[in-house]
Amino acid sequence: MDDKTAIANLPVTGTEHWADKNGVRLFLWNKRAGDAGGKPILLFVHGSSMASTPTFDLQVPGRPDSSAMDYFARRGFDTWCVDMEGYGRSTKDRNNNAPIAQGVDDCFAAATYIRTLRGQQPMHVYGISSGALRAALFAQRHPGFVDRLVLDAMVWTGEGSPTLADRRKKLPQFMASNRRPIDKAFVHSIFDRDHPGTADETVIDAFADAIIALDDSVPTGTYVDMCSRLPVVDPDQITVPTLIMRGQWDGIASMDDLLKFFARLPNPDKQFAVMPGISHASFQQKNVALVYHILLGFLTQPKPVYRG
């Protein structure tokens, strides 16, 4: 048995956890291979239209490494994800639309809980889409919690974004309600809007089924923020090592918008990766292997011995 086969066959265990945020219950899901002791922690932060487990622990028969959590658990990480308030298994009955700033509080509550189990070491944090904004603002406000930060499908000012330009047409509707309905057709539209064909239909169907099993509606707060309140993050104040990942055809942010953000990040330990053949939901794409490769390389990069 070669090393790749041995890694692929490592058993991964999953356990559910619950964090408290001033009376709000937040669902956390943890997956790892073997004991947790000494493993680097990787916290995944989901986006606007789905809970955490469909995004990060999707199981699709016949698609190896469909679960990002399994992939990174088998490579030595103690992986976690959290349902933001208003999503999935977390509290949904409070009268709010779960804006990005509230998601930062959710990240803080989740990270604080993880620290009670794993100790005080900083953790890697990966966020996608509005989850990237949550993760970036979390790192901005709580840099001591973050070792390395990864921002996938990120948007900064929204300038040049065709997705947001189209979404703004519905801004009054989003602002009039705390939640918006979702269904399988909506999930398929995520993959059709930028460049159809980047994901297999069987994967999109499995993704949609997993999302709808947990939610038939989701909060509007991140949509309102992204359509009317950008920028919500200040790159000058993000001091941790940072990787920005952008799909070739992702319509949520223009290349210029992200490059300007990247240029202002003060830590010289930073990378910008363009993912060929990728649109918006990178972990569900045909080219997911290169997504994992980029992410794994950044998270396992040796620390510099000379800084000048």
**What was the pLDDT predicted at 2?**
72
Between CA 278 and CA 284 the distance in angstroms is 9
Question: pLDDT for 212-236, tens place per residue?
Answer: 999 999 999 999 999 999 999 999 9
For 3-299, the fitting CATH number among 3.90.110.10, 3.10.580.10, 3.40.50.1820, 3.40.50.150 is: 3.40.50.1820
Distances (CA, A) of 266 to 59, 140, 153, 236, 263: 38, 12, 21, 6, 8
Higher pLDDT pick, 124 / 7: 124
304, 269 in Cβ contact below 8 A?
yes
Q: Which two tokens stand for residue 278?
A: 């990728």
113, 83 in Cβ contact below 8 A?
no
Entry pTM: 0.97
255-266 burial by CB neighbour count: b if 16+ within 10 A, else e? eebbeebbeebe
Please provide the DSSP assignment of 122-133 as one string.
-EEEEEETHHHH
Question: pLDDT for 125-174, tens place per residue?
Answer: 999 999 999 999 999 999 999 999 999 999 999 999 999 999 999 999 99
pLDDT of residue 5 exceeding 90: no
Mean pLDDT throughout 25-52? 96
pLDDT band (50, 70, 90) for residue 46: very high
Domain ranges of the chain: 3-299
pLDDT of residue 19 exceeding 70: yes
pLDDT of residue 1 exceeding 80: no
**Share above pLDDT 90 across residues of the chain, in percent, rounded to a whole number:** 94
- Unique residue bearing structure tokens 């919500």: 232
Mean pLDDT throughout 49-60? 98
Mean pLDDT value across the chain: 96
pLDDT of residue 307 exceeding 80: yes
pLDDT of residue 15 exceeding 80: yes
**What was the pLDDT predicted at 106?**
98
Question: pLDDT for 93-119, tens place per residue?
Answer: 998 999 999 999 999 999 999 999 999
**What was the pLDDT predicted at 308?**
85
125, 107 in Cβ contact below 8 A?
yes
Distances (CA, A) of 298 to 47, 125, 151, 234, 292: 21, 12, 12, 22, 10
